[in-house]
């Protein structure tokens, strides 16, 4: 197992390009997204600022789900992106750009061959290794990233068995979390430099690496679950689906979730 505790200086040592923004590492917090959003609200956060916690007591995912955030093993980080004032309806698109950025970082450092599960997860095989939650503030988008780095699949609680795994389990070796955090920060800085003009590049990388295209899935929305096949990604990173009754739809982020991909 690599170094268990880390600080901002160790992360900065791993950066291969200069960056703006302060890195703060906390031992524990309820949620790095909630914490960074409160700094934004109080006018205390600058673009590029990053909050990292060794553990979270109330890690949050999309659609009111919780995100397991155990100490010493995972990465729980939130960054105030400098994409300029993005409209609230662009959250889904920014999350998709974030998925491309984190995908690049993880594959560069861990060579894990992970893929993107529309819209905000990264998977190895059909098990989740990362989730992304973007929330809009007046200061800009706060992107929260949770990565299951070290530890074993068997360490997850029963409700996550068949759903989540770790990079250590996939790659059969443990990783220095500072290296992965630095790579994610670099890719998020590149994302911000490219947004919005580099859309074609991010869209084609998203599409090429999207794990659900060509798969039979279920779309869950409010009380409704519909079966269909994912057939592509549209210009706004929406998922193009042909339902079993023959109807076609492009589903967008918001309250929609893809089911039937994980084993459970
Ligand atoms: C999801 O799986 O739907 C998204 C999970 C996002 C988890 C990260 S961990 C860091 C940040 N803080 C949170 O409370 N959530 C995000």
pLDDT one-digit tens code per residue, 113-136: 899 999 999 999 989 999 999 999
Residue 145 C-alpha to ligand 1 middle, in angstroms? 5
Name the band, by pLDDT with cuts 50, 70 and 90, for residue 214: very high
Pocket mutation for ligand 1, best pick of 24, 146, 181, 188 (most atoms within 8 Å of C-beta): 146
Helix (H) or strand (E) holding 193: helix 177-194
Pocket lining: 175 vs ligand 1, CB cutoff 6 Å:
no
Pocket lining: 33 vs ligand 1, CB cutoff 6 Å:
yes
Name the band, by pLDDT with cuts 50, 70 and 90, for residue 223: confident
pLDDT tens per residue across span 39-49 = 999 999 999 99
Pocket lining: 59 vs ligand 1, CB cutoff 6 Å:
yes
Place of tokens 């503030």: 137
Locate the ligand 1 atom nearest the alpha carbon of residue 60 and give its number. 14
Residue 246 C-alpha to ligand 1 middle, in angstroms? 35
Closest CA to 119 of 106, 109, 107, 130: 130
Confidence (pLDDT) at 75: 97
Q: Over the chain, what is the mean pLDDT?
A: 92
Name the band, by pLDDT with cuts 50, 70 and 90, for residue 5: low
Average pLDDT over residues 212-227: 88
Residue 131 C-alpha to ligand 1 middle, in angstroms? 6
Name the band, by pLDDT with cuts 50, 70 and 90, for residue 197: very high
Pocket mutation for ligand 1, best pick of 29, 33, 53, 255 (most atoms within 8 Å of C-beta): 33
pLDDT tens per residue across span 73-115 = 999 999 999 987 677 778 999 999 999 999 999 999 999 989 9
Q: From edge to edge, which strands make up the β-sheet containing 140-147?
A: 23-29, 50-56, 75-80, 140-147, 127-137, 121-124, 115-117
Is a pLDDT exceeding 80 seen at residue 264? Answer: no
Is a pLDDT exceeding 60 seen at residue 4? Answer: no
Name the band, by pLDDT with cuts 50, 70 and 90, for residue 263: low
Is a pLDDT exceeding 50 seen at residue 1? Answer: no
Confidence (pLDDT) at 255: 62
Cα angle 113, 110, 72 (rounded to 5 degrees) comes to 125
Residue 58 C-alpha to ligand 1 middle, in angstroms? 10
Confidence (pLDDT) at 159: 87
Q: What's the per-residue H, E or C state across 72-106?
A: CCCEEEEEECCCCCCCHHHHHHHHHHHHHHHHHHH
Residue 100 C-alpha to ligand 1 middle, in angstroms? 16
Q: What percent of the chain has a predicted confidence (pLDDT) above 90? A: 77
Pocket lining: 133 vs ligand 1, CB cutoff 6 Å:
yes
How many residues in the chain? 264
């Amino acid at each position: 197992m690599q170094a268990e505790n880390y600080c901002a200086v160790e992360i900065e040592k791993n950066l291969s390009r200069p960056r703006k923004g302060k890195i703060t590492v906390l031992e524990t917090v309820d949620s790095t997204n909630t914490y960074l959003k409160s700094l934004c609200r109080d006018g205390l956060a600058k673009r590029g600022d990053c909050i990292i916690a060794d553990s979270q007591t109330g890690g949050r995912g999309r659609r009111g789900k919780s995100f397991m955030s155990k100490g010493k093993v995972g990465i729980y980080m939130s960054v105030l992106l400098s994409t300029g004032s993005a409209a609230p309806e662009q959250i889904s698109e920014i999350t998709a750009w974030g998925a491309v950025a984190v995908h690049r970082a993880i594959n560069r450092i861990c060579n894990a061959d992970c893929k993107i599960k529309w819209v905000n997860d990264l998977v190895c095989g059909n098990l989740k290794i990362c989730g992304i939650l973007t929330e809009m503030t007046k200061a800009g988008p706060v992107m929260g990233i949770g990565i299951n780095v070290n530890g074993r699949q068997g360490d997850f609680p029963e409700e996550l068995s068949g759903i989540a795994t770790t990079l250590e389990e996939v790659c059969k070796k443990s990783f220095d979390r500072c290296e992965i955090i630095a790579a994610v920060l670099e890719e998020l800085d590149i994302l911000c430099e490219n947004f919005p003009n580099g859309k074609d590049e991010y869209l084609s990388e998203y599409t090429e690496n999207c794990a659900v295209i060509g798969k039979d899935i279920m779309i869950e929305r409010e009380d409704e679950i519909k079966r269909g096949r994912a057939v592509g990604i549209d210009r706004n990173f929406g998922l193009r689906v042909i339902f079993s009754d023959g109807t076609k739809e492009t589903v967008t982020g918001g309250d929609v979730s893809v089911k039937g991909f994980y084993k459970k």
